[in-house]
């Protein structure tokens, strides 16, 4: 069972988070801290006590925006230790996801916190903590989640069919999971281990690298034009050549095309135009 520290400088938010955590049968203990200084003091005691000590902490559920040190500051400080507790960020702000996962966060939960979403974060933490406490035989394979066959890996951001057969990709915003039709995506932008999906209505961040989407969506007409961009071929409105530089216009966005992709893109556009 997990030993948890929750950190939030807004007392009502902290009390709600602790209530939800303590209601989870996988949580042995859940304590709270109202600022980063108090949190670091408790984590310091836990690290001194060791993983089997009375004050041990397996995971810190950490708000980002706090007075004084931010949650990102705390995570950076903990990264300097040999065996720090795991980090799950709990925040009202979507825009820090890339920084959070650069700091090796296990999960990134948006406020207002939903019970089901928090339960998924706890599952991810437990899947990491339990193998550390109970080392497996060298020839043993990690157990797969209950909905997958043994040896299978859970996808980071699966594409699923809707009732009409069109593919959709789940995205989370403000604690609500929505399903974006792949056909609505005009281009994709790499952001570290994440990808930002751009549609006419806005953009969404998903935890999947651009290279994986390139392979998955090649048959749907998506082409790589740059190390940072994947574009739906049918959404390109204009190809421009200017002094050796190639760009494309996709809606209101103008995107650079790298030299290594420029010729292939021109050939694909010609074939696409001929039907």
Residue 171's DSSP bridge partners are 178
pLDDT of residue 23: 94
Query: Does the CA dihedral 190-191-195-198 come out positive or negative?
Result: negative
How many CB atoms are closer than 10 A to CB 18? 18
10-residue averages of pLDDT along the chain (275 residues): 95 94 95 94 88 90 91 90 90 82 85 90 87 49 39 44 61 69 92 84 83 88 92 91 87 90 85 70
pLDDT of residue 36: 92
CB 149 within 8 A of CB 53: no
For 216, the 3-state DSSP assignment is: helix
Cα 174 to Cα 268: distance, rounded to the nearest angstrom: 38
pLDDT of residue 275: 61
Cα 221 to Cα 218: distance, rounded to the nearest angstrom: 6
pLDDT of residue 173: 61
What residues have CB less than 8 Å from 25, skipping those under 6 apart?
A: none
Which among 43, 32, 41, 38 is positioned nearest to 7, based on CA atoms?
32
27-33 β-sheet, strand order: 27-33, 2-7, 59-62, 86-91, 107-110
Domain ranges of the chain: 2-133, 167-273
0.85 exceeded by the pTM? no
Q: Does domain 167-273 have CATH number 2.140.10.10?
A: no
pLDDT of residue 174: 54
Residue 12's DSSP bridge partners are none
Backbone angles phi, psi at 4, to 5 degrees: -120, 140
- Stated as kind and residue range, the H or E segment containing 103 is none
Which among 232, 223, 212 is positioned nearest to 265, based on CA atoms?
223
How many CB atoms are closer than 10 A to CB 246? 20
CA 56 to chain CA mean position, Å: 27
Cα 197 to Cα 203: distance, rounded to the nearest angstrom: 5
Q: Does domain 2-133 have CATH number 3.40.50.2300?
A: yes
CB 180 within 8 A of CB 166: no
């Amino acid at each position: 069972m997990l030993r948890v520290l929750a950190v939030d400088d807004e007392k009502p938010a902290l009390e709600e988070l602790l209530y939800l955590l303590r209601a989870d049968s996988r949580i042995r203990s859940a304590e709270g801290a109202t600022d980063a200084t108090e949190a670091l003091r408790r984590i310091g005691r836990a690290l001194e006590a060791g993983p089997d000590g009375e004050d041990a902490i397996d995971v810190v559920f950490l708000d980002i925006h706090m007075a004084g040190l931010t949650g990102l500051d705390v995570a950076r400080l903990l990264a300097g230790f040999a065996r720090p507790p795991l980090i799950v960020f709990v925040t009202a702000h979507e825009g820090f996801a890339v920084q959070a996962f650069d700091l090796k966060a296990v999960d990134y939960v948006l406020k207002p916190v939903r019970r089901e979403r928090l339960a998924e974060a706890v599952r991810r933490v437990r899947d990491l903590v339990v193998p550390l406490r109970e080392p497996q035989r060298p020839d043993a394979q990690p157990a797969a989640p209950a909905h997958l066959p043994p040896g299978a890996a859970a996808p980071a951001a699966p594409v699923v069919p809707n009732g009409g057969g069109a593919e959709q990709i789940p995205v989370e915003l403000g604690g609500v999971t929505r399903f974006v039709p792949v056909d609505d995506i005009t281009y994709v932008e790499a952001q570290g281990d994440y990808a930002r999906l751009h549609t006419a209505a806005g953009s969404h961040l998903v935890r999947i690298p651009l290279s994986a989407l390139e392979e998955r969506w090649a048959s749907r007409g998506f082409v790589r034009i740059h190390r940072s961009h994947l574009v739906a071929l049918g959404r390109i409105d204009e190809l421009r050549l200017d002094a050796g530089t190639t760009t494309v216009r996709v809606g209101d966005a103008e995107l650079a095309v790298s030299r290594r992709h420029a010729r292939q893109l021109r050939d694909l556009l010609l074939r696409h135009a001929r039907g």
